Structure 1
Amino acid sequence: MASLSSPPATGASAPQSVEKISRLAQDYKFNPLVPLRYWLRTAATLVREARIYLREGHDEQAYLLLFRHAQLVLVHLAGHPDLTGEKDVRDERKALVAAEKEVKQNLEILEKLKPRINKRYERYTQLMHERQSRLTSSTVSPAASSQLPAPSDPALSGVAEPLEAGKDSELAVKLARTEISRRATVRNAMRQGRANGEDEGSRRAAGIWGDWEESLHRNEGREPDDLSRRIQEVRLNLDNRPQADARTTKPATRLSEVSPTSTYKYPTVPRQKPLDISPSSVVGISRPEAGTLTKPPTLPPKEAFSKSQPSGLEELPPRPGKISSDSLSATPAVPDKLKPDEANRGLDPSSFTFKPSAYLENGTPLRTVFLPPQLRSHFLSVAAPNTQKNLETCGILCGTLISNALFISRLLIPEQISTSDTCETVNESAIFDYCDSEDLMVLGWIHTHPTQTCFMSSRDLHTHCGYQVMLPESIAIVCAPSQTPNWGVFRLTDPPGLKSVLSCTQTGLFHPHAETNLYTDALRPGHVFEANGLEFETVDQRVKQS
């Protein structure tokens, strides 16, 4: 089964049908042991990725992510164990209601995308059939006539020449500079619109959502009344809808039984139920409240690294990344891959798609993460005062999705409390607010081991679970300036690492796991590539404390 937000496959480019994409969208792992607040951040990340894919012309991948978002919210999250437990989850309930409303809005986008995707798939099928007929009637051998491109990754559909991270890193840097600058301009225009009191429609037209609407309204054959009628019908039948068993890890019940001859159905939208929420509660689509986090107990000394005895923790600690979830300095030279007409109109992310560059242990492909080489040394200079005092320092790696690759473009230093073995974030809502306002995704985290070796401790492993359940490509950078090697880029293995750490029931801050091979290097080799010239900014939220 595929990871939640990574492309389902890789290979030659070929359009796919809506029925095929909907099946792929439901083929992922759901773990009810992951707290609801993490899943809500994951849902928000799915929508953010879908926006970018759609804006770049990847209709199939946008459809997959929006359908997956609807399936996750309506089938799994509506029955999450946290909702029936004793914990105070008023904020999560409120965020879930907001996510269900977002599903309603996304159904209209799915409705508009459906004929476009099917038209492209039908045309492709027709062309392949004609090609097969010509080859069969010619002198070409049967072996050659059978070499037709197979449907694969929706993100690669319609892309003539997907890029490779290793060979095209220079182009990646130029794409990032151009697109990050453009998105910054869009955000500034939206902020200016808000300052000038423009209405919501005008603000949306300034960028992301405006791009969606302008593109989708060109579609023909839409039946505007069909969606409203369907929503009304499913609401009337809501009470009879089978409830998903959120306490099992069985594959999710299909939202629709799809076959080439069946009538396609979208996910059902539940009736909104009134919530008993105090007026003082903060509204947030999937932002956990900092006050809900518990203070960790007194820490024992960090254990020494042992390859034969990995580490873990019972609960996810309140460190960065338990969640989940742009300036052009000069005109770049035109890369060789660009045609003359492309050079004239500049670097367009929709013209390129980076192929996945590595795979999880279960075979699921991972999108490339481009890392600025100078980020680590800059982080160490920021952390130097703490390091001299034998205190850990942590930072959050933020970035964005461009051309099916993830670019780290922001180093966020949150408010934090440090010891020689731990680093706890303070005021996590400020982290989420910043990422949302800058339209950034959380791509991982970085922290120091002032005197320890470069490894992932048990606490680090449990902390990283919060990142990797939100985004499979998430990374953890460990800096050990006094040791050799003095740094590393890691991810949890899947399997066995991610599942083993999530299901760990041992108590204590630092303890060994029975499983080995819980994490692996993500840089040599892996899905992380250092890209010379890739720019990044640093935002230090600790300054606000003084």
Structure 2
Amino acid sequence: MAAMNSPVSVAEVTEQAGNYTYNAHIPLANWLRTASTMQKEAQVYEAEGNDAQTYLLLYRHADLVLQKLQGHPDRNKPENRKALNAATAAVSRDLKKLEEIAPRIKKRYEEYEERRRRQLEALKSLEGKGVQNLPQELDGLSIHSRGSQRRSYDLRRTIDARAQENQSLAARLAQREVKRRDTIRRGVRQHGVSEEEEQARRSGGTWDTWQDEFAQQDGDRDDLSSQLQEVARLQQNGHRTSHASRPTSQSASPYHYPTVPYQTAQERWSDAQSRDTAPARPPKEQIYRSSGTPTAPPPLPPKPPAATYDTRFEQPRPPPVPGKISSSAPPLPGKTPDQRPLTPSHELDEFTFKPSAFLENGDPLRPVFLPSQLRNQFLVAASANTRLNLETCGMLGGILKSNALFITRLIIPEQTSTSDTCETLNEEELFDYCDKEELMVLGWIHTHPTQTCFMSSRDLHTHVGYQVMMPESIAIVCAPTKLPSWGCFRLTDPPGKQAILNCSRPGIFHPHDVDNVYTEALKPGHVVELTDAPLEIVDMRPRKNF
């Protein structure tokens, strides 16, 4: 059942923002990508009006960059200085945004607490009068205790990602969001913004505002067109359009369009002729040469001559062959179309997905929607390597929308493989592509050509970097020659993530001190397979490798 989440205080959000794991042994480049992911998430939540979640992510980003990364052992490496300086500059802009958001969170929380206090007083008054069977819930919280479970910060109604009736909504939401982002990117290209400038604005934290500028430009053009149409309609009806009544929305745009004059040319001509009771019809337009002497329009070019042929050799055409008479039965009528109305587009913005699972430490995990066709399409792309007993790996890119993560792209990077390992090459190109396409890295997928479906110690050490960056990150293992043929996993937290972060043992296969290092993420878990989900395959491998 959908429920409304209660507001939270700034202190509660701040406390939760500081609840993350930092390990200096993880390369600084990985942490900088984590910081970038936090900013992307914050921009999405800000656009959806989720102040508390935006505040949490921006505060965590500032704490990570200023308190942790400034002391990282790799901070002085030349390849890291520029990115670290950019992240530090982004924090300065985020601090201003935090100052703007905090009063709104505080006001909403105080109003909620005051309303709740009055409800409790009214309830106690009724209890004193002997009224029985009173409701035990107010605003979704028990009247006896606020509870200690961490809550979602979105105030929209929440729905269950696992419910079958909600999965069609999820597919439509993903399709619409992917289409919207593609439209924006095309608009950016049409406005003449280079890829370099786009990336600079995106990494500079101004991506959300300058997209709005382009949308505002299109809206201004539409407004101007509608104004002109309205002027024409009013003039036909014998009315005048007041200059003061024109919208002033153009002033909000950085682009200044020419102002429409107060008195149109038609009005000036009408005023000049107002002394005459019947103004003369203006003369027809003449064509003038350079000498200024009117002349007649040039003659029309002659029509091309019709094709000539000798009719003596023309043969009469035979009559058309009549169609065959079919003795078979008429075709069966098609199935009755589904008459159920589609969910209106605006209703897709009126809900958010509640957490579908929790970490072992109690932290909620947002749902991850996995396209049902992804695994088979990946196995097709990996088939050549599988026949040669070589592993293949791919990256799972996706988007955040309505507190859910949607895997929308499978990226197969350039790589080198053995029967037990797979190493990506040119990682910078891969992550630059994800930044350019506004994709978050939500996990990875790889094959075990001859082994069973499990997470090797090498796989665990690879995956911990993903899960530190995003707790919901998943690892998919495909074992096409074994049963089960595939699995979807995550590290336990605790103890698995902590054990892998503190492990320094070498080798592809080595034991760990804990047993339950990883667990299923699909059933049960926070991952939901989704049919009709949008998915694009991008293969970056050179053709000679497969």
Give the TM-score taking structure 2 as reference length: 0.69
Question: What is the deviation of 1:32?
Answer: 2.2
Equivalence for 1:92: 80
Report Cα offsets for 1:197-252 as digits up to 9, x if no partner: 9998x9889973357899xxxxxxxxxxxxxxxxxxxxxxxxxxxxxxxxxxxxxx
d(CA) in 2 for partners of 1:367, 1:360: 11
Q: Aligned to 2:361, what secondary structure does the other structure show?
A: coil
- Aligned-residue sequence identity (percent) comes to 51
d(CA) in 1 for partners of 2:65, 2:118: 42
Provide closer, same or farther for how the CA distance between residues 509 and 145 of structure 1 changes in structure 2, counting only shifts above 3 A.
Answer: closer
Equivalence for 1:536: 535
- Counterpart residue type for residue 542 of structure 1: R
CA contact (8 A) 1:132 1:145 kept: no
Equivalence for 1:256: none
Equivalence for 1:114: 102
Larger relative contact order, structure 1 or 2 (CA cutoff 8 Å, min sep 6): 1
Provide closer, same or farther for how the CA distance between residues 198 and 98 of structure 1 changes in structure 2, counting only shifts above 3 A.
Answer: closer
Task: Give the alignment of 1:404-423 within 5 angstroms.
Answer: 404-423=403-422
- Counterpart residue type for residue 159 of structure 1: R
Equivalence for 2:10: 18
Q: Aligned to 1:542, what secondary structure does the other structure show?
A: coil
**Larger CA Rg, structure 1 vs 2:** 2
Provide closer, same or farther for how the CA distance between residues 45 and 334 of structure 1 changes in structure 2, counting only shifts above 3 A.
Answer: farther
CA contact (8 A) 1:166 1:529 kept: no
Task: Give the alignment of 1:152-171 within 5 angstroms.
Answer: 155-167=152-164, 168-171=166-169
Q: Aligned to 2:157, what secondary structure does the other structure show?
A: coil
Match of 2:184 among 183, 186, 205: 186
Length, aligned pairs only: 409
Q: Aligned to 1:81, what secondary structure does the other structure show?
A: coil
CA contact (8 A) 1:413 1:542 kept: yes
Report Cα offsets for 1:363-395 as digits up to 9, x if no partner: 211111100111001100111111111111111
Provide closer, same or farther for how the CA distance between residues 156 and 35 of structure 1 changes in structure 2, counting only shifts above 3 A.
Answer: same
Equivalence for 1:242: none
Alignment of 1:39 onto 2:37: no
456-465 or 502-511, which deviates more: 502-511
Query: 5+ unaligned residues in a row in structure 1: which ranges?
Result: 1-9, 215-331
Provide closer, same or farther for how the CA distance between residues 42 and 451 of structure 1 changes in structure 2, counting only shifts above 3 A.
Answer: same
Q: Aligned to 2:353, what secondary structure does the other structure show?
A: coil
Question: What is the deviation of 1:358?
Answer: 0.8
d(CA) in 1 for partners of 2:482, 2:195: 55
Task: Give the alignment of 1:319-358 within 5 angstroms.
Answer: 343=344, 345-349=345-349, 351-358=350-357
Q: Aligned to 1:30, what secondary structure does the other structure show?
A: coil
Report Cα offsets for 1:416-465 as digits up to 9, x if no partner: 11111111111111101110000000001111111111111111111111
d(CA) in 1 for partners of 2:473, 2:178: 20
CA contact (8 A) 1:476 1:490 kept: yes
Provide closer, same or farther for how the CA distance between residues 467 and 199 of structure 1 changes in structure 2, counting only shifts above 3 A.
Answer: closer
Equivalence for 1:77: 69
203-212 or 360-369, which deviates more: 203-212
d(CA) in 1 for partners of 2:494, 2:206: 43
- Counterpart residue type for residue 502 of structure 1: L
d(CA) in 2 for partners of 1:181, 1:444: 23
Match of 1:66 among 58, 66, 72: 58
Q: Aligned to 1:507, what secondary structure does the other structure show?
A: coil
Question: What is the deviation of 1:123?
Answer: 1.9
- Counterpart residue type for residue 67 of structure 2: V
- Counterpart residue type for residue 404 of structure 2: A
Query: 5+ unaligned residues in a row in structure 2: which ranges?
Result: 215-338
CA contact (8 A) 1:450 1:480 kept: yes
Report Cα offsets for 1:471-502 as digits up to 9, x if no partner: 11111111111111111111111112111111
Report Cα offsets for 1:323-344 as digits up to 9, x if no partner: xxxxxxxxx9756xx6xxxx2x
